[in-house]
Amino acid sequence: MFNKNSFRVTAILLLALFSIVPWQNADACTRFVYKKQKGKIITGRSMDFSIPIPGNMWVFPRGMQRTGETGEKSSVTWTSKYGSVVISSWDIGVPDGMNEKGLMANMLFLNESVYPDFVKNGYKKGLAISLWAQYALDNFATVAEAVEDFRNEQFVVVTDNIPGTNKKTTIHLSLSDATGDNAILEYINGKLYIYHSKDYNVLTNSPSFDKQLSINSYWNDINGFEFLPGTNKAADRFVRANFYLKYLPEVDSTHQAVATVFSLIRNLSVPYGIQSGEALDLSTTRWRVVANQTDLVYYYEDVLYPNTVWVDLKKLDFSPKSGVRMLPLIKGQRFMGEVSDKFIKATPFKFQGI
């Protein structure tokens, strides 16, 4: 058996190994699902990125006509079944949002992602990666519904360059719902892998999710109150998030639960200005989201312009006639508190395609 000192030595050696393997070269984000207030499901996520990633908050109603933006005859098409509140990236894509049924979609960088080949006017339709999260929010009330649809692989997810860079958008998609169910979707070597379980409450970046689970199984045998991996690396954040979720105490009120989720996602964030050369997994946290999926409240916190706003989705009109609305955040506009009445009518942005 290992004694306490042996555990520390082994852990340090393992951390040294993690620091040199190539799968850490990815932009950083963390996502977890909190279940420590009876009957409440709350998801927290950070958006960590090596360059500014400006975006606004949008309300999309039901009944929107969508296209996969991969060519007039080559795109999957659909009509949104559910309304949603989302955060945009550069107003060309959606990396995060929650729909009116409490389904949450979060996109996180995964350097290992390799998507299937796509041929315009081929036998399978395309979906631009900028729309992957929005497709889920528009079409599904639960994770189980989404998983059933995605397993059919009716379309090919098609990637493109990150604005202002020559780097491809390589991400995995996490889904959670108001029942506490979870799914992680990844494309590895052109094949779709779906991990579906109520136990899959944490996701960071690299490595692929199966390897994240293996790393965490090792750390489950170590007393995290005495030693936890402490760097900003994705594998370390995955371990810390799982540990804290396991040992956080039950709380009595929703206010306490939301405060707990914010405190944990801040703990897992990267300080503003931190960037380690070309190691993109050490990237500044740009913003954070906390989503109360039980009560349908969506919180947003900007790091550069410190403030927290939230939207009570129950106060929003998602009917087709209500139109698209936007809360302008891209230029550091300041709002305070609940902002469902602060959205303005807006022309929907065009999702980036090919």
How confident is the model over 32-47, as a mean pLDDT?
94
Q: How do residues 265-292 score in pLDDT, each as one tens digit?
A: 998 888 887 776 555 556 888 999 999 9
Domains of the chain, first to last: 28-202+240-345 (3.60.60.10)
- pLDDT mean across residues, the chain: 87
Q: How do residues 246-271 score in pLDDT, each as one tens digit?
A: 999 999 999 999 999 999 999 888 88
- Residue 233 in tokens: 């690396």
State the pLDDT at residue 173. 97
State the pLDDT at residue 179. 97
pLDDT band at 10 (very low <50, low <70, confident <90, very high): very low
Q: How do residues 188-244 score in pLDDT, each as one tens digit?
A: 999 999 999 999 999 988 889 999 888 888 777 777 677 787 777 888 888 889 889
How confident is the model over 5-23, as a mean pLDDT?
37
Q: How do residues 137-195 score in pLDDT, each as one tens digit?
A: 999 999 999 999 999 999 999 998 877 777 788 999 999 999 999 999 999 999 999 99
* Percent of residues, the chain, with pLDDT higher than 70: 90
Antiparallel, parallel or unpaired: β 337-338 and 307-312:
parallel
CB 145 within 8 A of CB 61: no
How confident is the model over 4-14, as a mean pLDDT?
39
Indicate whether 25 pLDDT > 50: no
- Residues annotated as part of the active site: 29
State the pLDDT at residue 330. 87
Q: How do residues 109-131 score in pLDDT, each as one tens digit?
A: 998 999 999 988 888 999 999 99
State the pLDDT at residue 66. 98
- Residue 113 in tokens: 């992602």
Amino acid at the residue 294: T
Q: Identify any residues that bridge with 297 across adjacent strands, giving them in sequence order.
A: 292, 312
Indicate whether 15 pLDDT > 60: no
Q: Which residue has the tokens 């189980």?
A: 144
Indicate whether 33 pLDDT > 70: yes
The candidate with the shortest Cα–Cα distance to 290, out of 280, 281, 301, 282, is: 301
